[in-house]
Structure 1
Amino acid sequence: MIGRRFFRTVQFKLIVIYVLLILIAMQLIGVYFVSTVKHSLKDNFTANLNDQANLLSNMVAQSLAGLSEPDGRTDESPADSLNFFVHNLFGVSEAEIQVLDANGKVLATSQQDQQAYVGQKNTSLAVSRALQSIRDNEEEVVDEDGVRKKMIAQPVMNEGKVVGAVYIVASMNELYDTVERVNRIFVSGMLLALGLTGVLGVLLAHTITSPIKALTKHAAAVAEGRFDQQVPVLGDDEIGRLSAAFNDMTKRLREALSVNEEEKEKLASILSNMSDGVVAADERGIVMVWNWRALDLLGVSSCEGCGLAELLGVSKEKLADWMGTATRSAIIRREPAEGGEEGVLRVTFSPIHRRDEGIAGTIAVLQDVTEQEKLEQSRREFVANVSHELRTPLTTIRSYAEALEDGALEERQLAARFIGVIRNETERMIRLVTDLLHLSRLDSQQAQLRRQKMNISDMLDEVADRFSFQLRQKAIRVSVRVEEGVPDVWLDRDQIDQVLDNLMSNAIKYTLDGGRIELSAYRRDASTIAISVRDTGIGIPKKDLNHIFDRFYRVDKARSRNMGGTGLGLSIAREIVKAHGGTITLESELNVGTTVTFTLPVPHEGSEPA
């Protein structure tokens, strides 16, 4: 496996390329060199043979001319001279020299084993061409033993007349042996050069690949998040500049990632501390980012892998309509949890734009507007209730006034009853407006408290005395119970009396004849006392308990209005107790009774009341 990986490395490829380049260059040089040497040796060999043939032809010209005398006389001395020239002066190793007359007959030969050819005619083409006075008759032949030989035939001229020919056949084995030795020397040199080239290639490849390996190692470290390592810069060449550039890139990448992490932490901190919920989805509507507030508002534990439409509880078509190219808002109503109330969310959709790629997703900002909706609804109900409460007595007053105007004034008894009704409705309107003004002052914190130190037991006894007549009328028993240790409290007596009067009035109204009412005070803890009014009246249904302190809210609207109530008593009581720094609660069970308890803070000893 390691060997296979080595054959795929840049180092191996560089070595192979380098060796192949040297090999190709050496081959080209070798072919050219050997070819040049071969041709040079052959040319020299041929030129040497030609020179010998020319020299021999010049020397035997007179002898051949003597042999071809027209008188037909025979002179043995020219033949002897021819043999002398052929055997002694022009003896060439492994070469055959023949001297031929004008008819192509062999007159002399240099080879002892070819003396039988003397007197016979040489029929070779080169000899025939030479006897026709044609020069440059050369030919390479391979004999039966596979020996390469060079054959040359030159004409012998005497006074412009061909008197014979010189025929030389020389072996070229020595020449080709020389060429073969040159080849072997060149191959040996080439192999030695390739070996040295391979070693140098390894060293050169190592000098190139070693920095690349270091860069690869450090790149892997950077990919794993280790930015503290630097690549050594070993020179000012391309690899050195690459190493320097890589170090600079690592530094910049470390800085960029650091800035990115800081921005990411800032974004996470902002998202986690936002009072609004944030949900980001991609172009497919899959949630990518969210904060804890969004989970809280949507009532889920996680948004991972959820679709935005499923998360918000709307259809995909409606969500696609909201997720346009511009910012849009929508109101979504949450399903109430068990025992809870319905929630109202305002969702603002803003598209995420990606450069040159259009919309890449959507950010949904969730705001809990339940309280705002409640306040708006309360405002609308308040205006409607005030209008209704004022319109009812005004309508009654106008009706009775018209009746008086139409003649009822003439009947004294009927007129007196009508005027009494008008007076009662007028007083009711006055009470309503007074309560509204009182609530307005409490809401705007314009009603200043005039605190004084009061004994709780005496205050409760006085309340029971004020309502003694109404209690006797309905045969209701009242009891006042104040635990020991309840201290005197700094409070606005008029305001607290109004609270207690309202609670006692309601208790008397809704307690049947013969019932019982209990006023009690006790110390809840070291800094708080509690005052409660408990009756055995008709009680309040559970569905009305959460709204009992709302303005103009009546459990039994018709009966409450007939009893002269405005529906603002408990609201005023709550605001007065709140202004004193306390709280008020109501517990009730239908047909069993109702208990209203409010608390008042007890200032520490030596401190001034607020």
Structure 2
Amino acid sequence: FMFTPQLGWTLVTCLLIAVMLVPGTIRIGQQFARRVLEVETRRAEDRARDQVRRELVAWVSHDLRTPLAGIRAMAEALEDEVVSEPDEVSEYGARISKETARLGGMVDDLFELSLINSGALHLVPEPLPLDALAREAATGLGPLAAARQVGLEVRVDPLVCRGSGKEVERVVHNLLINAVRHTSAGETVSVAGGRDGGSVWLSVTDGCGGIPASDLPKVFDVGFRGTAARSPEAEPLGAGAGLGLAIARGLITAQAGELDVHNVPGGCCFRLSLPAA
């Protein structure tokens, strides 16, 4: 084997070509890897959306059927004159009206949840006094708390977040009414707040006795209602369809915030955070 000048130039040329091609090959490999990651991410998002759709279909088939069946049964009883006494007729009419309102609430919640899950919910953030929203919600729920013999205290320093007023107010109200309804008589619901870096947070701590560890990951799932272990007198939030907390988290997430829950001694703590103004 002889090393000739021509062979040397050939080797040098090959080396130069390799040096020029390697960065391009690396870039192509990186682009391919990013493309694969994007495809997998989209597939995961599609699977998540499909799961949500299946959950919504299951919810519709079960929860909407119940009030409809009740309305139909009472309407047939009136039509067939099974009940004819004026007081009974009036009672049936009131119950039909109540069930109709509950059904309407379920449909409204379902529509809002579909907007959240599809990304079609567009909110306009503005500076909001989060502490004032908490105090207003607590004041409005004072009579309910008193009737249930539940204490309600708010200790929040002035906090200004960026969010959509109507939606943030609704979430705070939902968290508070949920806490009051699940807290045993003689216990207290506490509201606190503060600032953490570029975010402000608000926490609602109840005296529900805690959420079973197996239920904690499901609290914000569509249709989740919890178990009797949380409260002996647990009442469903809103329309009673197990959508309240799913909507609450969706509304906060849509505003670049977070909503989580964890157990504390004697109860649980819901904590929301939003960008500081």
Same-fold call, TM cutoff 0.5 = yes
Please name the residue that 2:72 is paired with.
398
Please name the residue that 1:435 is paired with.
109
Following superposition, the deviation at residue 251 of structure 1 comes to 4.2
CA distance in 1, matches of 2:185, 2:63: 29
Match of 1:532 among 203, 208, 215: 203
Residue pair 2:174, 2:237 contacting (<8 A) in 1 also: no
CA distance in 2, matches of 1:563, 1:432: 8
CA distance in 2, matches of 1:561, 1:529: 28
Question: What 5-or-longer segments of structure 2 have no aligned partner?
Answer: none
CA distance in 1, matches of 2:170, 2:236: 20
The more displaced of 538-547 and 367-376 is 367-376
CA distance in 2, matches of 1:499, 1:250: 75
Residue pair 1:408, 1:415 contacting (<8 A) in 2 also: no
Please name the residue that 2:246 is paired with.
571
Residue pair 1:581, 1:601 contacting (<8 A) in 2 also: yes
Please name the residue that 1:548 is paired with.
219
Residue pair 2:219, 2:245 contacting (<8 A) in 1 also: yes
Amino acid at match of 2:204: V
Is the counterpart of residue 593 in structure 1 residue 251 in structure 2?
no
Following superposition, the deviation at residue 479 of structure 1 comes to 0.8
Over the matched positions of the two proteins, sequence identity in percent amounts to 27
Please name the residue that 1:496 is paired with.
168
Please name the residue that 1:412 is paired with.
86
Match of 1:459 among 118, 133, 137: 133
Please name the residue that 2:186 is paired with.
514
Greater RCO (Cα-Cα under 8 Å, separation 6 or more): 2
Match of 1:481 among 155, 162, 165: 155
CA distance in 2, matches of 1:585, 1:413: 47
By percentage of residues, which structure has more strand? 1
CA distance in 1, matches of 2:59, 2:23: 51
Please name the residue that 2:28 is paired with.
270
CA distance in 2, matches of 1:410, 1:252: 106
Aligned length: 269
- The residue correspondences of 1:122-271 to structure 2 (distance < 5 A) are 216-218=1-3, 230-231=4-5, 247=6, 251-252=9-10, 254-256=12-14, 258-259=16-17, 263=21, 266-271=24-29
Match of 1:377 among 51, 70, 87: 51
Residue deviations 1:195-252 (CA, integer Å, cap 9, x gap): xxxxxxxxxxxxxxxxxxxxx241xxxxxxxxxxx43xxxxxxxxxxxxxxx2x6545
Amino acid at match of 1:439: L
Give the TM-score normalised by the residue count of structure 2.
0.82
Cα 1:399–1:263 change in 2 (3 A) is farther
Following superposition, the deviation at residue 417 of structure 1 comes to 3.0
Following superposition, the deviation at residue 534 of structure 1 comes to 0.7
Residue deviations 1:59-78 (CA, integer Å, cap 9, x gap): xxxxxxxxxxxxxxxxxxxx
Residue deviations 1:244-282 (CA, integer Å, cap 9, x gap): xxx2x65455545654565565444433550467xxxxx
Residue pair 2:207, 2:267 contacting (<8 A) in 1 also: yes
Larger radius of gyration: 1
Cα 1:511–1:559 change in 2 (3 A) is closer
Residue pair 1:529, 1:601 contacting (<8 A) in 2 also: yes
Following superposition, the deviation at residue 446 of structure 1 comes to 4.3
CA distance in 1, matches of 2:196, 2:262: 17
Give the TM-score normalised by the residue count of structure 1.
0.40
Q: Secondary structure at the match of 1:479?
A: strand
